[in-house]
Structures are given as structure tokens and as C-alpha cells.
Amino acid sequence: MLTPESGTDVKRTSLHGNWSSRMAFILAVTGSAVGLGNIWKFPYIAGQNGGGAFVLVYLLCVILIGMPVMMSEILIGRRGRRNPVATMALLGEEEGASKNWKWVGAIGVLAGFFILSYYSVIGGWTLTYVFKSAMGSFNGASPSEVELAFSTFTGSAWKLTLSHTIFMGLTVFVVARGVERGLEKAVRFMVPALLLLMLALLGYAISSGHFGAGLDFMFSADFGALDWDSVLAALGQAFFTLSIGMGAVMAYGAYLPEETSITGASAAVVAADTGIAILAGLVIFPLVFANNLNPADGPGLVFITLPLAFGQMTGGTFFATIFFVLLTFAAWTSALGLVEPAVAFCVEHLKRSRAQAAVLVGGLIWLMGFATVFSFNLLADFKFYKGTLFDNLDHLTSNVMLPLGGVLIVVFAAWVMCRNSTAEELGGAGRLYKIWRFLARYLAPVAILFVFAKAIGVIPELS
């Protein structure tokens, strides 16, 4: 049996190929991390929890908690070079622990599977709204007309099925082509395109005349508005925004070249993800305030409030189309990360080709997506526990599976894996390694457990 300090010098290669460069990996993980939640949730909760004061707490949480967990997941992925289930089983045995750590990998794979089943439906909404915007459907529309258009769309099972099918088909097409020919080519185009589209919208927001109001809403530091609930909100957002705990980062880490610095790549992803979230707020809120709309509309901000704003402005058709193309790219790149762990599992365990595995997994996710499709129409009145089928899926994945997977991943990396193994992956046992090890051993697990306890109602409202 290996001793806690021995590790192994075995070098493995991925069965699926590698990223061609550090930048390809950063774009892929950034694409996976940047999703619909970045576009509306971060700006809104920042504005409601002290603006700049919340942003400061959030940045500290990302650096002290989110980044150590991300580094842990990447190093595990690169060390094992397999799908998350096989990697956790392999390393568990190799580090003198147990193959039963494979169940942590299984939690991640299943979480990605479940999340994509409803995320694909929402992704289909963004795709549909690209065409609605391009056809000028919101031009001059009243609030009641915009709300009716959304409710009519979501109330139609066949329309949601069609958009869900197209979105899932696009995702399967990219993943089936492999790491370099599919995933890498897609993110090399879509992530820079997403950033360029956002900068174009930022230019328009600056010229709208209400950019100052948006800045004030997000960045005026009101420390009096900060309380323990705000801190927990920052903790939760820092954890969830980086796509940690769902197997995507571990799967992508398995394709990371040996010479790439995990610390440097993680820092780049964290910076890009946070920067895009802040940019989203600077784009959205000037438009909201320019049209005297409610910035607290949450998800409704995207499909009701903003279409209304675009419908009232000069050039609104053009900018609305750009905005929903941006959202579609954000959803699509996230979907690629969500499906990859399950596809890798099928290739390795079922001995299927990449294309066969993508179609099989994509088909199963597509079928499961009907639970969400029908939650907005045919089964809208069928409610239990947390609400509709969609509400329960969202609760299970976001509040149970992701934090549970995240805390077990960081515990495995920092407590089960030996120093030699983790130091080798992180470039030596210097100062940065010691900082990571301390944060991953003590601060990150405790913080995630607080998020977990708050999410499942163990911790009551603290303010």
C-alpha cells in the first residue's frame, strides 16, 4: 500500500486527446463556467446586497474558496486522465484509500446530466428569442404584450420541445466531434465571440445616458446593506458560478497538457468568469434604468424586462438579436461542459465511439428534458415538495448534488491525496502550494458546508 507521502510517478494519457494549448483549456473552462446565471444573477444580487461592498466580498470568496476548489478538481482530473467516475476510483485506490471514491465522480456526472436536462430547455428559449428579436417581435410592444408572448411560448409544449431538440442537437454535434475537432474549435470561436458581443452591447449601454445609474446600482459600496445572508449569498455565487462539483472541470482537466500550470490557468478562468459577470451588469442595468424598469426581476429580466427595453429603443431589433445570440453562446458552451463527463464515461465503460456515446447520452438527456418542458404547460399544476418537476430538479442539483460533490472533491484532493501527488500537479511544494493546501483543507470545505446548510434550510435567515 502507498504511504501518505509516497504518491506515484505513473504518467497517463487521456483516451480522448488533449487540449492543444493552455489557452484552449482556459476558453473551454471559461465557456463552461459562464452561463445564463452570470448574465442576470450576479449583477442583481450585487445590486441588492450592498453593491460594491458585495462585489468585494464576492471577489474574496472566489479567490479564497472558488479557486482552491477549482484547482483541486483540475488536478484530480489531470492526475487520473479518465472520466470523473474512473478517475476517482483510480486515484482513491492509488492513494491508499478506496475505490468507493468513484461515487463522488458519479455525483458529478449525474449532476451534469440532470442539470443539462433542464438547461437545454432554457437554452432553447434563448435560441428562440434570437429569431423573435431578429423579426422585430418586440418593437413597440407593451409590457402586457411581452409577458403574453413569453407565457404563450412556454405554455406550448410543442414549441418548447422543438427549441429543446434543436439546442440539444447542436450540443451533441459539437461533443461528438471530439476534444480538438469539436470542443476546442467551438470554444475558440464562441467564447471570444461572446466577449465581443458583450463589448458591443456595453458601448450601446454607455451611450444610453443611464450608464451612471447602472454603475451606482452595482458598485456604490453600501456596507450597511451587508449582513450574514449577503455573505452567504456571495459564498454561494462564488461556488456555483465556476461550474464546480458537476464533473465538467474534472473532465476538462483530464485533457490538460502536463506542462500547463494549474494555478495560472485557474486564475485566468476565475478572472474571465468574474469579468464577464461584471460586464453583464454594466450592459443590462443601464438599459433597465433607461426604460424605468425593475432591476429585481431575476430570470424574468432576460425574457420579459429586457425584450421590453429593446422594443422601446432605437436600433432595438439589432441589439436585442445580439443580446440573445450572446445568451445562446453562453448557454451552449456551458452545455458542452455539462455533457462531456457522461460522454467520456460511456466511451470508456461502454466501449462506444465518441459519436455513439454523444448521441446516446444526448438522447437520454433530451428525453429527461420533457420533465422540464411539461413543467411549464401540461404538468404545470402537478406540484410536490419544492414545486414542479423542474423546481425539484433544480433544487436537487443546485442545493444538494453540487455542494456535496464540491466539498467531497476538495476533501479528497487536500486530505486523501498525498503531498507528493498534489505538489507534482501544482508545480512544486512552494508558497503557492502551501496556500492552496491550507485553503483547500480548512477554509473551502467549511465555507461550502455553510452554503449547503443554508441551501437546504438548516441555517435560517440570519439578518
- 219: confidence class by pLDDT, cuts 50, 70, 90: confident
Residue 5 included in any domain = no
- 2: confidence class by pLDDT, cuts 50, 70, 90: very low
pTM of the model: 0.91
pLDDT tens digits, one per residue of 276-288 = 888 888 888 888 8
pLDDT tens digits, one per residue of 295-305 = 766 667 788 88
Number of domains present in the structure of the chain: 1
Handedness of CA 65, 235, 392, 153 (dihedral sign): negative
Residue 10 included in any domain = no
Tell me the mean pLDDT in the region 169-193. 92
Other Cβ atoms within 10 Å of 131 Cβ, number: 12
406's grid cell: 464540491
What's 83's domain CATH number?
Answer: 1.20.1740
Residue 44 included in any domain = yes
* pLDDT reported for residue 463: 52
C-alpha to C-alpha distance for 447 and 232, rounded to whole angstroms = 9
- Residue of 284 and 412 predicted with greater confidence: 412
Tell me the mean pLDDT in the region 416-441. 94
**The cell 470568496 sits on which residue?**
61
* pLDDT reported for residue 4: 42
Tell me the mean pLDDT in the region 84-105. 95
pLDDT tens digits, one per residue of 135-176 = 999 998 888 899 999 999 999 999 999 999 999 999 999 999
Residue 256 included in any domain = yes
Tell me the mean pLDDT in the region 235-256. 88
Residue 306 included in any domain = yes
Average pLDDT value for the chain: 89
Residue 11 included in any domain = no
The full DSSP string for 143-157 is HHHHHHHHHHHHT-H
Residue 250 included in any domain = yes
* pLDDT reported for residue 289: 84
Residue type present at position 230:
S
pLDDT tens digits, one per residue of 40-66 = 778 778 877 888 888 899 999 999 999
- Residue of 157 and 237 predicted with greater confidence: 157
Tell me the mean pLDDT in the region 65-83. 95
Tell me the mean pLDDT in the region 24-44. 85
* pLDDT reported for residue 462: 54
- 9: confidence class by pLDDT, cuts 50, 70, 90: low
227's grid cell: 449582513
Domain residues for the domain of 214 are 22-455
Residue 463 included in any domain = no
**Cβ contacts of 69 within 8 Å, gap of 6 or more:** 239, 242, 244, 245, 406, 409, 410, 440, 444, 448
C-alpha to C-alpha distance for 395 and 296, rounded to whole angstroms = 21
* pLDDT reported for residue 1: 34
* pLDDT reported for residue 162: 98
Residue 10 has pLDDT above 80, yes or no: no
CA distance readout (Å), 462 to 50, 225, 229, 233, 260: 16, 13, 6, 12, 43
* pLDDT reported for residue 6: 47
Residue 5 has pLDDT above 50, yes or no: no
CA distance readout (Å), 229 to 221, 331, 425: 17, 28, 36
User: What percent of the chain shows pLDDT beyond 70?
Assistant: 96
Residue type present at position 422:
T
Phi-psi sector, 403: left (phi>0), alpha (psi -120 to 50), beta: alpha
3-state helix, strand, coil in the chain (%, to 5): 75, 0, 25
Residue 328 has pLDDT above 70, yes or no: yes
Residue 93 has pLDDT above 90, yes or no: yes
